[in-house]
Amino acid sequence: MAKSRQWSDGRLDRFSRRLVQVGFLFLFLFPFLPLIYERLTFQSAVDYTSWLLPWDPMLAVGNILNGNLSALVVGAPLFLLALSLVFGRAFCGWVCPLGTVMDLVRSLAFWRGKKKNQKLNRTRTGRNSRLRYVILAAVLGGSLLSIKWLGLLDPLVIFSRAFTAFFINLFNGRIAFERGGLTYFSILFLAILAMEFWRPRFWCRHLCPQGALISLLSRYSLLNRRVSQSCNNCALCRRACPMNAIPQDAHHTDYSDCTFCLECESACPEKGISFGFGGLALAVWQPAPRLTESGKVDRRPGQYVASPSLLPGEPVSRRQFLQGVAAVTAGLAVTPLILLERRAAPLRPPGALPEAQFLNVCIACQECIRVCPTRGLQAAFLQTGVSKLGMPVLVPRLGGCSLGVSCDHLCEKVCPVDAILPVTQEDLKIGTAQVDHSLCLAWDQGVKCLVCVEACQYKAAIPHQGRITVDPDKCVGCGFCESGCPVPGSAIHVFPKPSSTV
């Protein structure tokens, strides 16, 4: 009876953690509710900024390295890093939405039986890969020139981008499919989920740069995992640990990997594992000396106590140092190499930085795409080049820019990296519309079509003797003329304002 109650307690802790995970997941998905409401009811709703990216520590560090010191004013990411000194990598195991999705997906692997699970876990020996630290060094080193690569590998940005693409494609249906459909859906996000079916938390253990950043501080965690003298070294805790944070001696814990997921606690049949605050996690848990009847020290397994360690883990070897230098150098070299690809700059959101700066700052989080009221902003695929993959592009045929009409510069408000700045109505200039005379009904067929004239908010489309002309001084390139044109493919197109190709 007592043993079943012990197992129930462990399962209750796991269930409580799952509730916390799902609660945070819904909290981070809440900003998508206005999008769902608008598409279902065809009524406008208040848009919310992301509640996730302002807390992103890796994004904050990248911004600081890139010279954007405003990240120091927003203390949320620094506060999260400070919490890692207390709770270790608990953020990865309890709060991170990508980690939550991975845990939920892993539970769907019905073909992976319990025995197979134990066999897979039994073969995991040694420490997790240090490749995540190399990736962290590369993206942070590259942030000195551009933070776009940081956005491609940041798990919180990956989550935000993937769900934005999912909801946009879900409600746009056929049009989105014609423009690439699920290709806008984060391919890396799908790859991470696929890896979860292969190995538990593979992304977190080997590749995640955000986890690597938190790991640098989590080894000083004040939250400890403790194993009592009831432990019989059955190794069930090590097999259950999805992060491979328990070495051969079950009393020890690698706090750079432990996410305090409580899986080991529920797996222990003796209920010998507990968690609590105490000395630094750097402390090495060793058997407490016991005296036998003859007065000698008994070294058999018994109560374990902490022996403080003054050094933060293993010293960095020369090979690891050189790997870090090579990673930083590679990160610095990637941006100039990619920018050698020269293509015409596409239409950007109003207030976007000049194209060269925009490419270095935009992290393709697609927050501006999520809040666009006309759905004219779309995620670029390969049609704009590899260097612009996933970045926002205004597609007037799908919807014009309603800044100053029905949009209170939402894209600028939600941008987490200041890639889009405030712009006044007088300075608004996205591009200029041009009429294709060979397609225009008024020019080619003499039809009295004034759709573009009626759609123009700035009186830039002017009818003259039944034909339409565009005043370039009045046109701001909002694109409503292009979206309203009845000609298939449109007879009027908006071209970007003059700038160099990048």
pLDDT at 118 (0 to 100): 45
Whether 296 is covered by a domain: the verdict is no
Q: What is the pLDDT along the chain (502 residues), one digit of tens a residue?
A: 444 444 455 678 888 899 999 999 999 988 888 877 877 777 777 777 788 888 899 988 988 888 877 767 667 888 888 889 889 899 999 999 999 999 999 887 765 555 444 444 444 456 788 889 989 988 888 888 888 888 888 999 999 888 888 887 776 654 443 444 445 457 789 889 999 988 889 999 999 999 999 999 888 888 888 888 788 888 888 888 999 998 877 888 888 899 999 998 888 888 888 888 865 555 545 455 554 555 554 544 444 444 444 334 455 566 766 766 776 777 666 666 665 656 667 889 999 998 888 888 898 888 898 888 888 888 887 666 667 778 899 999 888 888 877 788 889 989 988 899 988 888 888 999 998 888 888 887 778 888 888 888 888 888 887 788 899 899 999 999 998 898 888 889 999 876 544 4
Based on the fold, state whether residues 370 and 237 are members of the same structural domain.
no
341 falls within a domain: no
* Domain edge (last residue) among 379, 414, 449: 414
Task: Specify the pLDDT at position 180.
Answer: 43
Amino acid 172: pLDDT = 61
How far is residue 323 from each of residues 176, 210, 271, 316, measured CA to CA in Å? Answer: 42, 18, 42, 11
Non-local (6+) Cβ contacts of 184 within 8 A are: 165, 168, 169, 176, 378, 379, 381, 390
**Which range of residues forms the domain containing residue 109?**
1-286+301-336
* pLDDT score for 89: 92
Same domain, 484 and 363: no
CA distance 45 to 25: 21
Q: Is residue 344 part of a domain?
A: no
Q: Are residues 130 and 166 in the same domain?
A: yes
Q: What pLDDT is recorded for position 467?
A: 84
- Does 84 share its domain with 183? yes
391 with 359, same domain? yes
Quick one: 393 and 440 in the same domain? no
Residue 124 shares a structural domain with residue 256: yes
Task: Give the pair of three-digit tokens for residue 423.
Answer: 């712009």
The pLDDT assigned to 212 comes to: 93
Q: Say whether both 201 and 61 belong to one domain.
A: yes
Report the SS3 class of residue 277. Answer: strand
Number of structural domains the chain divides into: 3
Domain boundary (414, 443, 459) is at 414
342 belongs to a structural domain: no
pLDDT at 320: 66
Q: How many CA atoms lie within 13 A of 261 on its CB side?
A: 23
Segment (H or E) for 469 = strand 467-470
Distance between terminal CA atoms of the chain? Answer: 71
Q: Is residue 293 part of a domain?
A: no
Residue 347 in domain: no
Tell me whether residue 373 is in a domain. yes
* 185 shares its domain with 277: yes
Q: What DSSP designation does 334 have?
A: H
pTM metric for this prediction: 0.82
Same domain, 320 and 382: no
50 lies in some domain: yes
Q: Look at residue 99 in the predicted model and tell me its pLDDT.
A: 93
Strands 284-287, 290-291: pairing is unpaired
- How many CB atoms are closer than 10 A to CB 450? 14
Question: What CATH code is carried by the domain that includes residue 442?
Answer: 3.30.70.20
- Are residues 233 and 380 both part of a single domain? no
Q: Are 115 and 165 contained in the same domain?
A: yes
